[in-house]
Amino acid sequence: MLTKPSARIKRFLGNISFVVLLNLLVKPGWVVLENVVQDRIGHEQFGTFTALLTLAAIMAGISDLGTTQLTTKRLAAAPSFFTDFFPTLLPLRAGLGVGFLVLTVAVGWVLGYRGHWLLLLAITAAGLLLTQYTLFLRGVLQAHQRFTADAVLSVLERLLLLGLVLALLPLGLSMDGFVGARTVAVLFTFLLLAGLIRRLYGRVALRPRWSQARQVLLDSLPLAFITLVYGLNERIDMLMLERLVSAREASYYAAAYRWVDAVMMYLWTVLPLFFARFAHATGRRQEQQELLWFGQRVVTVPLLLVVGFGLFRGELLFFQFKHSSPAELLRMTQCLQVLFLNVLVHAFFAIYSTLLTSTDHEKPVSWLVTGSIVLNTGLNFLLMPRYGALAGAFNTLLCAVLVSVGYVWLVPRRTGVQLPLAALSKLAVAFAGLCGGWYLLQTYAHLPWWLETAVAGIWLLALIFGLGIVRVDELKALRTRKQPAA
């Protein structure tokens, strides 16, 4: 039975709400604008750029070697980790970034990219490696529970990029200009964060010690493996589409995945906060239990309506593509609908992966995701040449389902935390009820899309309160401030 939220849960919910609000203000606008950029540049060129961006993102993720998550965990448990290890960690991360930049260009050359495309790969990879370093520094803020400052920094890069691209559109946007704007936004955000860290925690004297570097790398290896497999699992499809099929198929998948990425940003914004809280509660099973049961609803409920909209009104999300044929728009919509089912799976089960990795159970998670990559890659080789982008979407969904089953099996056995089975069942019933209601609306009501969506949203709220997923007394408890002792 779910209890009323405690004071720490109420404060944590306030942090989450602020983070999500900032992302809601920025992310949708950026996705719409990036669709406009793709429409202006064309599917062929943008498909090739997407493949380069995917390769750079995979390599940038690997370059982290798990040090960001390790740092967040150690700082959350022992703040002295900052003064003890950061004189070694900062130059270590910089060296890894330079090394992986060279490696990324070498891998691009092996895959067949030459000339100007290879140069764009190098610039894009440099920007993403700097972004990865920024995420590493943001882990310091998260570990010290400075979620408000972290929230602002999480959207700053996108906000800057939004302004730069809007300024370039009237001048005639080119691929080079777009890549340059991305680089400027990343560099500015990094410099601002570095200044903030120095102001809050003082200047860090760089004194690299091999013994500390070796210890950090050994301790972060399980997390590094997870970072590798997650990076490959989420992004390999677009790179394989461009290499195995065509740049156009890669661009159709990219257009659909862009909206998926925007929706998943909610998860990737909220789950790191839970990662830090789970790590902070290490050894306190009751607190972790409370966090998980609370988090299940926080993570899942907001995405139910979004997924429903993608399934029933997904074609509306591609209104920016003025130069695409009806067949191309249909292809993008079909990919979107399949990938939104993938979002639904993550909405239900991604928090279990966060609990496992934050409590030193990275190894079984990494093996689960590794098996998913092997299956996904094999199916891509088998099905992509025939079915193109749709094959990539279906393969991604299948692998997400299999990995999530593994999470559900592992959590009670490895952490001792019980699954919120009643809440999961009610959430599943609520989504089924939402889809049934939306189908009836489309079949019989014939309302404008905005009114149809509003009615579906009201119906979902009725289901959430009617099934007891969220209770009125809980909302009242969140509004009630703790009175000071007499």
For 66-78, write each residue's pLDDT tens digit: 777 777 677 666 6
- pLDDT tens figures, 146-156: 666 666 776 77
- pLDDT tens figures, 447-456: 999 999 999 9
**pLDDT value at position 311?**
96
What is the band of 338 on the pLDDT scale with cuts at 50, 70, 90?
Answer: very high
307, 355 in Cβ contact below 8 A? no
Look at residue 473 and tell me whether its pLDDT is greater than 80.
Answer: no
Look at residue 195 and tell me whether its pLDDT is greater than 90.
Answer: no
Alpha helices in 42-114 (DSSP H): 43-63, 67-77, 81-110
Q: Give me 410's structure tokens.
A: 């592992």
Higher-pLDDT residue of 233, 317:
317
**pLDDT value at position 389?**
93
Look at residue 483 and tell me whether its pLDDT is greater than 50.
Answer: no
Amino acid at 93: R
**pLDDT value at position 481?**
47
What average pLDDT does this structure show over 41-54?
A: 89
Alpha helices in 359-446 (DSSP H): 362-387, 389-415, 421-440
114, 105 in Cβ contact below 8 A? no
**pLDDT value at position 329?**
94
10 Å Cβ neighbour count for 419? 16
**pLDDT value at position 231?**
64
Higher-pLDDT residue of 288, 234:
288
% of the chain at pLDDT higher than 70: 83
Higher-pLDDT residue of 412, 64:
412
Give the Å distances, CA to CA, from 94 to 43, 67, 75, 132, 387.
Answer: 35, 12, 20, 10, 41
Look at residue 136 and tell me whether its pLDDT is greater than 90.
Answer: no
**pLDDT value at position 200?**
74
pTM across the whole model: 0.76
Among 336, 399, 343, 340, CA closest to 372: 399
% of the chain at pLDDT higher than 90: 35
Look at residue 484 and tell me whether its pLDDT is greater than 50.
Answer: no
- The dihedral sign for the CA sequence 463, 469, 470, 471: positive
What is the band of 485 on the pLDDT scale with cuts at 50, 70, 90?
Answer: very low
Higher-pLDDT residue of 405, 9:
405
What average pLDDT does this structure show over 297-315?
A: 94
